[in-house]
Amino acid sequence: MTSGPDSVSKDKNEGLRTPFPGAEPPAAKEVGPRKEDWIGRQLRRVFDDALAEPLPDDIMSLLESIDSKIATKAAPDGEPT
C-alpha cells in the first residue's frame, strides 16, 4: 500500500451515501421549497417509526400529573375540572 498525495482520492464525497437509497438531495446551493421538502421527507423517514411508538407508562404518568396540576390551578374554586 502506498501513501502520499497520489493515494488519496480526489473526490471528497467518495464513499458518502445518502441515508436512504434514491434520496438524493437537491443541489447544495439550491435553497427554497424543494430543498425544505426534501429535508422534511428525510426527517419523516427517520422519525415516523418513533412517533408511532406508545409513550412509556412513567412518561404518561408524568404528563397526567402535570395536566392535573394545571387543571387544579385553572379552576376558580380550586376544584379540578
Q: Closest by alpha carbon to 25, among 2, 6, 41?
A: 41
What phi-psi label fits residue 32: left (phi over 0), alpha (psi between -120 and 50 degrees) or beta? left
**What gap in Å lies between CA 1 and CA 8, rounded to an integer?**
12
> Cell 418513533, residue?
50
Cβ distance 68 to 60 under 8 Å?
no
> Per residue of the chain (81 residues), what is the pLDDT tens digit?
455 544 444 455 455 455 555 566 666 566 678 888 889 999 999 999 888 999 999 999 999 999 999 998 887 665 555
Q: Closest by alpha carbon to 43, among 59, 23, 28, 27?
A: 23
